[in-house]
Amino acid sequence: MINMLILMGGLPKAGKTTVVDLIRPHVDVVVSPGYGVDAKSEELRRQQYLAAWRKGVSKVTTFCAKNNDRILLFDSTGSNIRQLTQWKIMCGCHNIDILYVMVHALKQQCVDRGSETSLVTSYVSRLQQCIPLFRKNLIVIKNIGSLEDLKEATKPLVRRLQEVGHQNHTF
């Protein structure tokens, strides 16, 4: 029995959700706390996101506490070192494989895709702190070209998930 927790990581607008869409057929459950937050006011949007984040954290924590032969993917920036550390410890205690998928894009590309410069800059150091935590369980996908380039860069991850899926018999 193999359980796997996949944590996405990367700058805002780096292409994480696009990668999630590409690998979704190989994953049992996807938790996307920021998806669907669309309030008009900044404060309401922040409140909606925090509520969605708490719900997503709860789902992942419950997953880590159970041994249910599944692959769960958490789609976020992967930059909350405290939460990531807790999940890594929980996964270790429950024999759950953990994989940190860093989607790399240049800061300027993220800004060009619609993210604010100050927001992108604020995530750089946070992500740099998270990467060493997962050095042995890290896959980096470079998103610096076209969608076809991204699909090609995602193939090693897809192959790994297919191997796990064959072991799991869940796909």
Read off the pLDDT of residues 76-88 as tens digits, 9 standing for 90 and up.
Answer: 888 889 889 988 9
The structure's pTM equals 0.83
Q: Which residue has the tokens 């998930």?
A: 161
* Overall average pLDDT of the 147-158 stretch: 92
pLDDT at 168 over 50: no
**Confidence at residue 154, expressed as pLDDT on a 0 to 100 scale:** 93
Domain locations in the chain? 3-168
Phi, psi of 114, rounded to the nearest 5 degrees = 115, 5
**Confidence at residue 67, expressed as pLDDT on a 0 to 100 scale:** 62
How many percent of the chain have pLDDT more than 90? 35
Query: Who has greater pLDDT, 99 or 166?
Result: 99
Q: Which amino acid is at 56?
A: G
Query: Who has greater pLDDT, 27 or 59?
Result: 27
Give CATH superfamily name and number for 3-168: P-loop containing nucleotide triphosphate hydrolases (3.40.50.300)
Phi, psi of 115, rounded to the nearest 5 degrees = -90, 150
